[in-house]
Structure 1
Amino acid sequence: MSQIIVETATPPCIVVDHVSKRFLRRNTHSFKEAFVSWIKRRKVRADTFTALDDISFQIGQGEAVGILGLNGSGKSTTLKLISGVLDPDSGGVFTRGRVAGLIEVGAGFHPDLSGRENVYLNAAILGMGRKEIDERFDDIVAFSEIGEFIDQEVKHYSSGMFMRLAFSVAIHVDVDILLVDEVLSVGDAPFRAKCYAKIRELTARGVTMVVVSHDTKMIKELCGRGIVIRKGRKIFDGAIDEAVDQVAR
């Protein structure tokens, strides 16, 4: 089935071209059942689940785009494909520039290292040099509001502290594309407001933002465009208000 591709006003920095992604789904319900099947030399049946089916879209430089859909629709899979965490089974995903992904809260943190050590580790993974991290360290800590906990091991952090520090590192790196998956739902209202303001500042500077969230109010505040996915297929790509209405139908 052909898809309408929205033309971007700026040069595209994300291209998702006829992408499909499938996962193996085994038809046993527990380890015990799988073990019994193995003992009896009975084959464990497996089939594939299509998470994304022939998805195509482009996102231009400086756009803030929300990816919407119900649980299990394929939103987070799409974000992981753009980030490079997953590879498509068919089609291609192309990005231009440095990509930072806030896809799983604290996923890049080492639990036995302090917040300070994790800032340096994560910033280095995102491509920052030691001097650059030194220059931005105080700003990163100040934005995160971690304060005196910066020298504690992060295994003692709450999920909110994880999110604040991870988000703060990502937004202080010179990235071209920032991917955000639900993490802004963690934290109090003043911190969320500060995050929204920072995202607007980044998009004004030309950073491309792709946001996945169930918070339609937040999506409307941050994004001008929405892509709606239903059962692995793109059903809408256009103005954010219309996209939110499509999800509700």
Structure 2
Amino acid sequence: MAASDLAIRVHDLGVRFRRNRRGRRNIKDLFAGSSRRSKPNEFWALREVSFDVRAGESIGVVGRNGQGKSTLLKLVAGVLLPDEGGVDVIGGVAPLIEITGGFVGDLTVRENVKLTAGLHGMTRAEVARRYDGIIDFAELHDFQDTPYKHLSNGMKVRLAFSVVSQLPEPILLVDEVLAVGDKAFREKCYRRIDELLAEGRTLFFVSHNERDLRRFCTRGLYLDRGALVLDGPLDEVLARYDADSGV
């Protein structure tokens, strides 16, 4: 595959966590360094995972809960750093992974749009130009001066998706956060994803919903116990996943 065709390259990727800590490492570990061998209280969330994603591809990531799907998205997004191997991302990413990420409870909707869009790389001029569209899509006209912490979960999802979907980045990362939105808005979000794919964007989509996977994705990655079990056409990946799950 030519380098110009690549959107994401994952090579020999490995990341480990501690079972008895919320954080991955403490300060002592960072200064002391670490060996490749796992300690008794550590486990590998992903290990020896490799694949390439072409620009414009739509990838569905499947697997049971706790098998490394969301961790993989966070590594691609740059939120986590690997312990082994690496992730090369060509172009920026628009991540919709955690609905609370980047938003500040005491700031208003208006202030949060400016802050979050700015953190994602939008200039003030771009934010001003896109602001009305963000609010329109999120259906929050009457809540622009309401503190973010007073919004319902559904409102927070609408705001997060609206901001991220306005980013010009070529790679869209979507976890299952849309599952908490109402049916009408979820369909509105999916139509927006259709539009972005029609523009040639690359989609990395984690979901347990087979209908959604089939709607957007042509290729699948099946993760189990932190390993990449199968990488191939979505139909084949879903069939293998269902067979392993006893469906």
Asked whether 1:244 is paired with 2:246, we answer no
Aligned to 1:188: 182
Shift of 1:186: 2.0
The residue that corresponds to 2:35 in the other structure is none
Q: Which runs of 5+ in 2 are unaligned?
A: 22-38
Shift of 1:46: 4.5
The runs of at least 4 aligned residues of structure 1 exceeding 4 Å deviation read none
Aligned counterparts of 1:26 and 1:185: Cα–Cα separation in 2: 29
List per-residue Cα deviations over 1:63-107 (Å, max 9, x = no partner): 111111001110011001000011110101010111121111122
TM-score (norm 1): 0.86
TM-score by length of 2: 0.87
Once the two structures are TM-superposed, the CA of residue 15 in structure 1 deviates from its matched residue by: 0.6
Instruction: Give the total of aligned pairs.
Output: 226
Kept in 2, the 8 Å contact 1:144–1:165? The answer is: yes
Is 1:200–1:222's contact at 8 Å kept on the other side of the alignment? yes
Give the percent of matched residue pairs that are identical in Structure 1 and Structure 2: 45
C-alpha distance in 2 between matches for 1:147 and 1:60? 38
Letter in 2 for 1:170: V
Write the letter of the residue equivalent to 1:14: I
Deviations 1:30-52 (A, max 9, x none): xxxxxxxxxxxxxxx95211110
Cα pair 1:113 1:153 within 8 Å, conserved: yes
Q: Which residue of 1 aligns with 2:99?
A: 105
Measured in 1, the distance between the counterparts of 2:169 and 2:190 equals: 17
- 1:149 alignment counterpart: 143
The runs of 5 or more residues in structure 1 that have no matched partner are: 1-6, 28-44
Any idea what the Cα deviations from partners look like across 1:10-62, whole Å, max 9, x if unmatched?
A: 811111101011112239xxxxxxxxxxxxxxxxx952111101000111111
Name the amino acid aligned to 1:203: L
CA distance in 2, matches of 1:126, 1:103: 14
Aligned partners of 1:247, 1:194: CA distance in 2, in Å?
29
Aligned AA (2:86): G
Q: How does 1:30-179 map to 2 (within 5 A)?
A: 46-179=40-173
Aligned 8 A contact 1:24 1:46 in 2: no
What SS does structure 2 have at the residue aligned with 1:26?
A: coil
Which of these residues, 20, 24, 28, is aligned with residue 18 of structure 2? 24
1:187-211 superposed Cα distances (whole Å, 9 cap, x missing partner): 2222111111111111121211111
Counterpart residue identity of residue 138, structure 2 = S
Cα deviation 1:210-232 (Å, max 9, x = unaligned) = 11111121111111111000111
- Larger CA Rg, structure 1 vs 2: 1
